[in-house]
């Protein structure tokens, strides 16, 4: 029997997904590196070890697959992502293209449209009294501004959400609902590919910037299509879920919302705090390229390591009073977008999108209250809400 | 520990001891040095950790990487030959005495 700390915790079980934070606390108390016997994987859940694993790409590879399936031991179930599931030097090439497509310069031009769309969408619901906030706001807003920025046509955008479920659903072990879902929506991946072609993307959008890199010979035409597609899968559900969770957190902490309402410039920091406290992306995977030692534990080659970034945000060794949601906290190095070379390339886009949304919301809404049960998504890859019934009180005009 | 001097746009100087292996961005953020944001945590994504290295010679600084080069084209303050992203400057013993100037804006 190898010498290791083990646990029966199952990160893909409904109980875990309903309340990951008490499971994280249990894992943190067990030790720095724990072996999850249910799935035969290692996991880390403290700030320092999460950071170590995510930044040491010579040891912890992305080429073994972004989900639980181990491409070093079994054939990939689909063609690996040319950005997320590759290591340097291949990674550097595609990453450079996306970094440019999403650079601060590009974002400065987008801001005005985000502001206008957010203000309009909040204005549409402000006097309605009770709303279902996921469909009315936190899903509707990203689903408008994100594809607009990429340059995607209006028609059929709900397919983006279906595609997101297909991509993030593959993060965990194979389950019957997923196979059914893939079958029901088997036409969607082709629809996405058609929408990602050069001539389908509007001028001036991020999609065309990516094709511009193909014109310069930095990537092939096919790779440009794949990178646009990556955008569509990585940028929609994540922002929908994180903005939704942030709104939920604010609704449950009226004293925090009051701070934001009185000073809407806190919007960016509020979203940053929500990304630390309760966000869409809870865990990531790496696969070891060689035998290694981590916090005193030997880990063999070709082993899967699950990195609970959601737990890193609650680690009292790094954050003071980590379970408290405080939108005026000075947040240093929260890890909700990952860290290191694969750290989210869309994070500045996500921050801007959310900042504009919560600023517009705080400018128009005086207070809010949750009026009924909320629903949690049970997909393995992301955490998010399906429903959030809210009563809104508008600010006096 | 080797030290690094930060000179803010208004001339304020801060000297920090920086642990080997830590990035200059991280050291600055953890010690609340104003003028370095480091919003993306070192993922070469935000360009809010932009610095001007005043005395680059002889410290064995790493070359500007491809992604860093791309990001440096998008900084809020003007790019100069001595521009670097401080998240890409990982402290070594040889870097003791490095001086970086902070730009007037990171956004
Ligand atoms: C709040 C919203 C978001 C969250 C929480 C989030 C989270 C993450 C995380 C944790 C990673 C690291 C994956 C890993 O290391 O294995 C990542 C990578 C990535 N994200 Fe995001 N993301 C968000 C929004 C976006 C947006 C809006 C885009 C596109 C514009 C995007 C595109 C990507 C891409 C392309 C990668 C892969 C980067 C690489 O491998 O180099 N994300 N994201
Ligand atoms: S910290 Fe974001 S680019 Fe350096």
The CB of B72 under 6 Å from ligand 2? The reply is no
Query: Distance between CA A238 and CA A54 in Å, rounded?
Result: 19
Query: Distance between CA A138 and CA A142 in Å, rounded?
Result: 7
Residues 6+ apart with CB under 8 A from A176: none
Q: Which of B38, B42, B45 sits opposite A345 (nearest CB)?
A: B45
- Give the range of the structural domain holding residue A199, as residue numbers without chain letter: 6-394
Query: Distance between CA B34 and CA B27 in Å, rounded?
Result: 12
In a domain, residue B106? The reply is no
In a domain, residue A1? The reply is no
Among B46, B67, B89, B90, which residue has the most ligand 2 atoms within 8 Å of its CB, making it the best to mutate?
Answer: B46
Report the CATH number at residue A204.
1.10.630.10
Give the phi and the psi of residue B12 in degrees, each rounded to 5.
-60, 130
Report CB contact under 8 Å: B45, A335.
no
User: Is B71 near chain A, with CB under 8 Å?
Assistant: yes
- The domain tally of chain B equals 1
Strand bridging mode A304-307 / A41-44: parallel
Global pTM reads 0.96
In a domain, residue A231? The reply is yes
- Give the range of the structural domain holding residue B86, as residue numbers without chain letter: 3-101
In degrees to the nearest 10, what's the CA dihedral of A156, A162, A164, A168? -170
The CB of B46 under 6 Å from ligand 2? The reply is yes
In a domain, residue B107? The reply is no
User: Is B26 near chain A, with CB under 8 Å?
Assistant: yes
pLDDT tens for chain A, 397 residues long, are: 578 999 999 999 999 999 999 999 999 999 999 999 999 999 999 999 999 999 999 999 999 999 999 999 988 877 889 999 999 999 999 999 999 999 888 998 999 999 999 999 999 999 999 999 999 999 999 999 999 999 999 999 999 999 999 999 889 998 888 889 999 999 999 999 999 999 999 999 999 999 999 999 999 999 999 999 999 999 999 999 999 999 999 999 999 999 999 999 999 999 999 999 999 999 999 999 999 999 999 999 999 999 999 999 999 999 999 999 999 999 988 999 999 999 999 999 999 999 999 999 999 999 999 999 999 987 789 999 999 999 999 999 7
Sort out which chain B residues have CB atoms less than 8 A from A332's CB and list them: 29-30
Burial class for A186, CB neighbours closer than 10 Å (0-12, 13-18, 19+): exposed
Report the CATH number at residue B30.
3.10.20.30
The CB of B48 under 6 Å from ligand 2? The reply is yes
C-alpha A37: how far from chain center = 26
- The domain tally of chain A equals 1
Residue environment code for A334-368, b if the CB has 16+ CB neighbours within 10 A, otherwise e: bbbbbbbbbbbbbbbbbbbbbbbbbbbbbbbbeeb
Q: Are A275 and A244 in contact (CB under 8 A)?
A: no
């Amino acid at each position: 029997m190898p010498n290791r700390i083990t646990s029966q915790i199952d990160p893909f079980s409904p109980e875990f997904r309903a309340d990951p934070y008490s499971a994280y606390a249990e894992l943190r108390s067990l030790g720095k590196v724990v072996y999850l016997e249910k799935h035969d994987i290692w996991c880390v859940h403290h700030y320092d070890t999460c950071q170590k694993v995510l930044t040491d790409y010579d040891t912890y590879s992305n080429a073994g697959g972004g989900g639980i399936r181990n491409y070093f031991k079994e054939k990939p179930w689909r063609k690996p992502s040319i950005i997320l599931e590759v290591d340097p030097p291949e990674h550097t090439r595609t990453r450079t293209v996306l970094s440019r497509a999403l650079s601060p310069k590009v974002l400065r031009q987008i801001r005005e449209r985000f502001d206008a769309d957010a203000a309009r969408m909040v204005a549409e619901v402000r006097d309605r009294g009770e709303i279902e906030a996921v469909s009315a706001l936190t899903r509707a807003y990203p689903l408008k501004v994100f594809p607009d920025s990429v340059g995607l046509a209006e028609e059929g955008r709900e397919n983006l959400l279906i595609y997101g479920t297909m991509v993030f659903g593959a993060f965990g072990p194979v389950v019957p609902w997923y196979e059914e879902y893939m079958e029901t929506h088997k036409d969607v991946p082709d629809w996405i590919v058609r929408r990602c072609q050069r001539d389908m993307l509007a001028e001036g959008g991020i999609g065309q910037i990516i094709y511009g890199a193909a014109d310069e010979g930095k990537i092939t035409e096919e790779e440009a299509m794949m990178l646009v597609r990556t955008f569509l899968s990585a940028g929609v559900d994540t922002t929908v879920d994180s903005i939704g969770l942030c709104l939920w957190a604010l609704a449950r902490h009226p004293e925090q919302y009051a701070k934001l309402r009185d000073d809407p410039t806190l919007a960016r920091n509020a979203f940053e705090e929500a990304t630390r406290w309760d966000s869409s992306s809870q865990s990531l995977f790496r696969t070891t390229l060689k035998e290694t030692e981590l916090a005193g534990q030997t880990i063999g080659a070709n082993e899967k390591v699950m990195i609970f970034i959601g737990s890193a945000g609650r680690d009292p060794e790094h954050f003071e009073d980590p379970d408290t949601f405080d939108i005026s906290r000075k947040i240093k190095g929260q890890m909700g977008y990952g860290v290191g070379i694969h750290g989210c390339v869309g994070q500045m886009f996500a921050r801007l999108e959310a900042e504009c949304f919560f600023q517009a919301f705080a400018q128009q809404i005086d207070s809010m209250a949750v009026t009924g049960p909320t629903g949690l998504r049970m997909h393995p890859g992301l955490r998010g809400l399906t429903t959030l019934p809210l009563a809104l009180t508008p600010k006096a005009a | 520990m080797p030290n690094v001097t930060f000179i803010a746009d208004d001339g304020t100087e801060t000297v920090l001891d920086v642990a080997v292996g830590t990035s200059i961005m991280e050291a600055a953020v953890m010690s609340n040095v104003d003028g370095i944001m480091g919003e993306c945590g070192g993922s070469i994504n935000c360009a809010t950790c932009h610095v001007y290295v005043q005395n680059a010679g002889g410290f064995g600084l790493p070359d500007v990487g491809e992604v860093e080069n791309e990001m440096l084209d998008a900084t809020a303050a003007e790019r100069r030959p001595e521009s670097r992203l401080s998240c890409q400057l990982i402290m070594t013993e040889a870097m003791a005495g490095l001086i970086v100037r902070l730009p007037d804006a990171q956004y």
